[in-house]
Amino acid sequence: MRAAVLTVSDSVCAGTRDDASGPAVRSRLEETGWQVAAAAVPDEPERIAAQLIEWADSGRFDAVFTTGGTGIAARDITPEATRAVLHREIPGIPEWMRLQGMQKTRRAVLSRGVAGTRGQCVIINLPGSPKGARESLDSVLDVIPHIIDLLRGKTEHGNS
Residue type, 73: A
- Whether the full predicted model's pTM is greater than 0.75, yes or no, is yes
Asked if residue 11 is part of any domain, the answer here is yes
Asked if residue 86 is part of any domain, the answer here is yes
pLDDT in tens, 85-108: 999 999 999 999 999 999 999 999
Q: Domain total for the chain?
A: 1
Q: Which domain holds residue 66?
A: 2-151
Asked if residue 160 is part of any domain, the answer here is no
Asked if residue 109 is part of any domain, the answer here is yes
Asked if residue 159 is part of any domain, the answer here is no
Phi then psi for residue 108, to 5 deg, are -60, -25
Asked if residue 157 is part of any domain, the answer here is no
* Distance in angstroms (rounded) separating the CA atoms of residues 116 and 121: 8
pLDDT in tens, 9-56: 999 999 999 999 999 999 999 999 999 999 999 999 999 999 999 999
158 falls in which pLDDT band (50, 70, 90)? Answer: low
Asked if residue 158 is part of any domain, the answer here is no
Look over the chain and give the mean of its residue pLDDT values, rounded to a whole number.
Answer: 95
Pair 41, 47: CB distance under 8 Å: yes
Pair 123, 56: CB distance under 8 Å: yes
Pair 151, 122: CB distance under 8 Å: yes
CATH number for the domain harbouring residue 82: 3.40.980.10
